[in-house]
A = this chain, B = another copy of it.
Amino acid sequence: MTDSSELHAGSDFPRMLPLRRVLVVDDDERFRPRLARALARRCGEVRQAGGVQEALAVAAEWQPTAAVVDLRMGDGSGADLVARLVADLPGLRAVILTGYGSIATALDAVRRGAWHYLSKPATADAVLAALTGPRAAPLGDETPAPSLERVEWEHIQRVMTDTGGNVSEAARRLGLHRRSLQRKLARNPPAG
């Protein structure tokens, strides 16, 4: 991936075969064309799809070698789409684009066949690096799932540092009442 700075323009991508035909799937009409254009300057061919159905149609006849897929789309889950794509097109590398907070879901997608995941907004370079670099650690199933309590607590801590310790603001962002946040903070952190 270190030589990604010298991507050949034109039609040959020596050992970067995954980048020959890249399918960009996102229902965000502002973001998708931008990403597609940026990718087009660096890869072989790039096509776009605005949703799951369209993506499946394009994939069936065009047989992309790589896909960049948004996690949340109006007509279906990007994770499901990726699972179907890699099933139909063995060897296809798919990266999941995800907004903040869906990282766990994106990791799920990796276990279901996605190559990597990125948080949005992602630069074209980051996408390329993810596509051509090593696969994201699939997180073996032996990694225990954290308790709900723990997940909640970590997210609260995160937002709290975000707001610089402002309880009222954090409560607003978390969507709960200030008093409730106070009480949660007063409690002790979960053990496991």
Interface, chain A (partner B; CB < 8 A): 1-2, 15-16, 99-105, 107-108, 118-123, 125-126, 129, 132-134, 136-137, 139-141, 143-152, 154-159, 161-162, 173-176, 192
21 A–B contacts from the bound complex (CB under 8 Å): A1-B133, A99-B143, A100-B104, A100-B139, A101-B154, A103-B107, A104-B154, A105-B154, A105-B157, A107-B158, A108-B161, A121-B140, A125-B134, A126-B134, A129-B129, A129-B134, A145-B158, A150-B175, A151-B151, A151-B155, A152-B152
Chain B residues near A136: list those with CB within 8 A: 119, 126
Q: Which of A120, A122, A175 has the most CB of B within 10 A?
A: A175
Chain B residues near A161: list those with CB within 8 A: 108
Q: Is B134 a contact partner of A123 (Cβ separation < 8 A)?
A: yes
Q: Is B155 a contact partner of A175 (Cβ separation < 8 A)?
A: no
Separation of A48 and B167 alpha carbons in the complex (Å): 38
Specify which of B119, B147, B154, B174 is in contact with A139 (CB 8 Å cutoff).
B119
Specify which of B16, B103, B132, B152 is in contact with A148 (CB 8 Å cutoff).
B152
Q: Is A173 a contact partner of B157 (Cβ separation < 8 A)?
A: no
Query: Which 7 pairs, one residue from A and one from B, show the smallest C-beta to C-beta distance?
Result: A147-B175, A101-B146, A103-B103, A148-B174, A100-B143, A145-B173, A129-B133
New contact pairs (18) apart from A107-B158, A119-B139, CB-CB < 8 Å: A1-B133, A2-B132, A100-B139, A101-B145, A103-B107, A104-B158, A107-B119, A108-B162, A119-B137, A121-B137, A121-B140, A122-B137, A126-B134, A129-B134, A144-B173, A147-B173, A147-B175, A148-B175
Chain B residues near A105: list those with CB within 8 A: 154, 157-158
Separation of A148 and B108 alpha carbons in the complex (Å): 20
- Taking the closest CB of chain B, its distance from the CB of A97, in whole angstroms, is 10
- Taking the closest CB of chain B, its distance from the CB of A26, in whole angstroms, is 15
